[in-house]
A and B are shown apart, each in its own frame.
Chain A
Amino acid sequence: MEYKVEAHRIMSISLGKIYNSRVQRGGIKLHKNLLVSLVLRSARQVYLSDYYGGVCFSAQQVESKEWELMDAEQNKLRPAAEEGPAPQKDAGLGDATPVADEPTSQPQADGESPAGAQQPPAEADAETGGTSPAGPAEDQTGGGGRALPDEAGTPGAHSCPTRKRGAEKSHHACSPQKRTKVTPTPDSSGAAEEPEEMETGNVSNLITIFGSSFSGLLSKDDTPPASEGEDGDSGSGQICCDQMLKNLNPWTTAIVAF
């Protein structure tokens, strides 16, 4: 649970930095915004991975194998409440975390994909001074996440950002959608809904605040946005369009605007 809080906190901080960079003297700094957007993307994946059972790897490569492993691990998950989030994350992110009791040997699906997405709980742990094993809420969320992979598992419908797919998918991901409200992502777990809704509520507030500022910049095409020829980065633009991720498009387009 802490890692999700941490991920959300990092997302807020990152958005704040992107917003502040617009009013900084000297214009938008491309390098810093690129780095911030990479962190934002990683944090977002960690944040979302909890909802979608960690559906975050390249569909092209080891998808079927991963599904098998994930199912196997999720079967192990049920009795062990404490290991709830960790193997979940392992399944999703294909990475070993200190929290996980079972060392993950799953190959990282795409060497390039969400760079920072691995070990966010470790980072969160380091910063929060140690994370207590997740409680029952996590397990239920994990349970909810378990149900999702089936619907989310359609190959090609979504995956983690991969640079190769950026060109094909970008037109999906960045169709201008002026959304100022983030709808809570469907979570079939139900039990852990409340705290997550609150967090999403906070997030939607952020979007509302930033959305109004970015209202003039939400169209994505070749016409340069108000601030220049300095089209900033949008690592997020590479994220494939996904039914479940669509409601976070305002962030995508906001970053594209740079």
Chain B
Amino acid sequence: DPFEKVDVVMVMCKSHLGNVQATRYVLWCRDAGFTDIISTVEFNYSGDLLATGDKGGRVVIFQREQESKNRPLSRGEYNVYSTFQSHEPEFDYLKSLEIEEKINKIRWLPQQNAAHFLLSTNDKTIKLWKISERDKRAEGYNLKDEDGRLRDPFRITSLRVPVLMPMDLMVEASPRRIFANAHTYHINSISVNSDHETYLSADDLRINLWHLEITDRSFNIVDIKPANMEELTEVITAAECHPHQCNVFVYSSSKGTIRLCDMRAAALCDRHSKFFEEPEDPSSRSFFSEIISSISDVKFSHSGRYMMTRDYLSVKVWDLNMENRPVETYQVHEYLRSKLCSLYENDCIFDKFECCWNGSDSAIMTGSYNNFFRMFDRNTRRDITLEASRENSKPRAILKPRKVCTGGKRKKDEISVDSLDFNKKILHTAWHPKENVIAVAATNNLYIFQDKIN
């Protein structure tokens, strides 16, 4: 049995009033045979499906168990629903370049019928996949056996009508559209528009707008490639469509800025409608200021009023109505600021952390190193650091909030900065759109935490 399950863990944390509150979480550690590093995690609109992509180009979809009287305890459990190979490694002969099969992003389409659709992308090609269930099979063909072998037509003496017979549920994934050859540079984002007809894809220098039905052309809506590449100073790092206004999208840059564009203004949205940038603190400049200000992820809140950006050390919440500074800033791992040179050497400074909102936009979550992930409550300003690890995943274990000791005397249960394992990084996290269920990808393990209050 490749699945390990831990029943209930307790998370104890102090409330802002000082008393200890215990929230019970059900923890599952899913080892669905991930041999490769998980590279993206995404819930669908209902939260019943959770898609993961990995470095090997595979997509694994988990489905939530429905409530059933037979197995009351397994309500809400996520099990593997479908596995398929989305992308294969390719070789561009013209440029002598290998194209990685790693899945950079998965985005679900809103469900319109019994089938589920998702977009998955590697560095160069976006694919629309249809995931459908088949629980019936036609039996009683005239021209072929049940094995599929052709029957000798001369030996058929009577005709019958094939009938549909129930069969074991089979989940099939088939590629319905392939959107290729539109990106010279590496695709970093895809985002489905609220019109449910179009979506955008962004690479380092360009953003294209596609229609889901049309694969042989796309509209280029942003192009920041300079005429002279020597003048290149920034690249696009992430892009997202507004959740409600189908004409609005944002894209972030390696310089720590965000541009909001309105597609009604012009066909080419090189001129932004809004420009979000926080003035840099001159006292904190260093060799690596530019790298750590590069935004690795941008996400609109569900309300559409706010957006959140993640740079190397912090998460910032922006009010779309205020461009000159964020309304909230949360330090994720400020203790790393003095280690930037080492993190540059071992390439960790280039890690692209993602961030996500909870369903009600009251909390945000992002990952860190040592398999730590952080959650911030925007209302109470409380934050918590948890660790996704197998060692802590014993039945009835108490999942204690973790704390990093930044200096001075290390208290019991604290971990010092130098003991952090920088190979264990949590780059991808996802929050269920409605409930307190979170999915955390730790290298090649997927952890699902659920708030279960009995």
**Residues of chain A having any CB pair with chain B under 8 Å:** 6, 10, 13, 17, 25-27, 29-32, 34-35, 38-39, 42-43, 95-96, 108, 115-116, 118-120, 122-123, 126-127, 163, 166-167, 170, 174, 220, 226-235, 237-238, 256
Contact = CB atoms under 8 A, between A and B. Distances in A.
Nearest to B285: A118
A44 to B, nearest CB: 11
8 contacts: A27-B95, A31-B254, A35-B294, A39-B287, A116-B288, A119-B287, A230-B185, A232-B229
Contact of B290 (A35, A230, A256): A35
Nearest to A236: B230
Interface residues of B, number: 42
A30 B285 contact: no
A229 B290 contact: no
Interface centre among A115, A118, A226 (most CB of B within 10 A): A115
Interface stretch (B132-140, B302-310, B335-343): B335-343
Interface string B36-77: 000000000000000000000000000000000000000000
B286 A238 contact: no
B233 interface: yes
B232 interface: yes
A26 B55 CA distance: 12
Interface in B132-189: 184-186, 188
Contacts of B102: 26
Interface of B: 95-100, 102, 123, 184-186, 188, 204-205, 228-235, 237, 254, 282-283, 285-291, 294, 338, 340-342, 344-345, 347, 350
A123 B342 CA distance: 11
B286 A120 contact: yes
Contacts of B283: 96
Given A35-B290, A35-B294, A226 B341 contact: no
B287 A30 contact: no
Given A30-B186, A123-B341, A167-B231, 5 more contacts: A10-B344, A27-B99, A30-B205, A116-B286, A226-B96
Contacts of B254: 31, 34-35
A167 B342 contact: no
Contacts of B345: 13
Nearest to B98: A25
A42 B344 CA distance: 14
Nearest to B227: A167
A116 B346 CA distance: 19
A115 B289 contact: yes
